[in-house]
Amino acid sequence: MKRFVQGTNRTQSILLPEQLEDYVSEDNPVRVIDVFVDSLDLGSLGFSGAKPAQTGRPSYHPSVLLKIYIYGYLNRVQSSRRLEREAQRNIEVMWLTSRLTPDFKTIADFRKNNGPAISKVCRQFVLMCRNLDLFANTDIAIDGSKFKAVNNRDKNFTDRKLQARIEQLEANIARYLEELDRADRQPELVPEARVSHLKEKIASILSEQRPPPPSGRRAARLT
């Protein structure tokens, strides 16, 4: 007897690994982001908030938000609201941020206050990855195109070629940050309203269904 592949019962209790660590493979690119950012002196690089304020509510350490931005750049996540959602649902980002979930306004304000520093660190990260030939076998896109293995000819940069590559990289990073700014200025569609509208539409379509006429031909009403 032929069968389809069956999924699991959504309401069934199952045992999953208790640690996020178990979900992130040893060669996952987020581990590179994590080690790279943790090695930086963010205060000397010009990031605000590197030291906690003496009063007021606790804030996010800039390393958390910077990791989110580098992840977003590598994966072309193009708005602060989408970055917020990635932190809430994406296991890689959950691992990267230790389950911290800053809201989109916090993410956007971090970019507003630290734009030049973010650009500089992203450039350093990409150059480091190229120099170490990291991600050569992945689908990560870090300079506007998919990563590819560095061959001997690619490694023989003249000063002019190297400067051109850096300028291209800086332009790509600037373009990404501009895309984020532009996306953040767009009004957000309210998911609840869209879901409600779809439910009403489905209910309307179902109410229009009628049993087929005796002739066997289906009657249809177009609205």
Terminal alpha carbon distance of the chain: 42
Q: Annotate 120-149 with DSSP letters as a single string.
A: HHHHHHHHHHHHTTTTTTS--BSSSSB---
- Nearest CA to 87 among 78, 99, 74? 99
Give the global pTM: 0.70
Reading the chain (223 residues) residue by residue, the pLDDT tens digits are: 677 777 677 787 767 667 889 999 998 999 999 999 999 999 999 999 888 878 888 899 999 999 999 999 989 898 999 999 999 999 999 999 999 999 999 999 999 999 999 999 998 998 888 888 776 655 555 544 444 444 444 555 566 776 777 788 788 888 888 888 888 887 665 555 566 767 777 777 777 765 555 655 554 454 4
Q: What is the dihedral of CA 133, 136, 139, 144, to 10 degrees?
A: 50
| Structure-token pair, residue 36 | 């790279």
- Which residues, 6 or more positions from 137, have their beta carbon under 8 angstroms from its beta carbon? 149
